[in-house]
Chains A and B, each alone.
Chain A
């Protein structure tokens, strides 16, 4: 079975803190994604990566950065957390090629106070 593992399920951080959300996949997938999900707004793409050290902005990259130093690991970084970044964050991965599905991690619930 494909496994996408997010390091933290629930986090509470203070405004201004630097936050790291880690994601690891075990299927050698080329593509990895970070989404956030908010009521009434659905899943919104923050960043995606199609190869090691490569990254592309999604629809809402402001306030976030990412790092992909190894193929299996894709990190989301909040340089200075703000309350409007309170959300559920979902990491996902997929292989290259048409029809290849996207596999999601369990999600990380981040609260910024």
Chain B
């Protein structure tokens, strides 16, 4: 089975940097995703990590340490529109399937 933990809520100031952490336990790790979800909408893809290290994509970066079962999403130059929930998801490839399990999400509020 899988266990994914992330903080439930965070608040940050417009223009600042925020880091959202995610820890996981899984038997057959095969990649980690970050998704953004605005209220009432479907999740949209932000990033994917399968190897250790940092992946940068514009204002968003994602880091992975497989040995520690740890990832973070870094958002720079925060904008009001970044207020959303951020979901960490882990793909488990054991058994030949590609089951993807999501954490409960971190609700980020950006304040002026």
Residue B102 at the A interface, CB < 8 A? yes
A window 81-103: CB within 8 A of B: 90, 94, 96, 98-99, 101-103
Closest to B45 in A: A101
CB atoms of A102 and B30 under 8 A apart: no
Q: Does A62 contact B (CB under 8 A)?
A: no
- CB pair A102 B87 closer than 8 Å: no
Q: Is B11's beta carbon under 8 Å from chain A? A: no
Are A101 and B33 in contact, CB atoms less than 8 angstroms apart? Answer: yes
The contact of B50 among A35, A56, A99, by CB within 8 Å, is: A99
Which B57-112 residues have a C-beta within 8 angstroms of A? 87, 89, 91, 93, 97-105
Instruction: Determine how close the nearest CB of chain A comes to the CB of B9; give it in whole angstroms.
Output: 11
| Residue B7 CB within 8 A of the other chain | no
Given A48-B97, A58-B99, A94-B98, check contact A43 B87 (CB 8 Å).
Answer: yes
| Residues in A whose Cβ lies below 8 Å from that of B91 | 98
The one of A31, A40, A43, A105 in contact with B98, judged by C-beta atoms closer than 8 angstroms, is A31
Residue B28 CB within 8 A of the other chain? no
The residue on B at minimum CB distance from A104 is: B42
In angstroms, Cα B8 to Cα A40, docked, is: 8
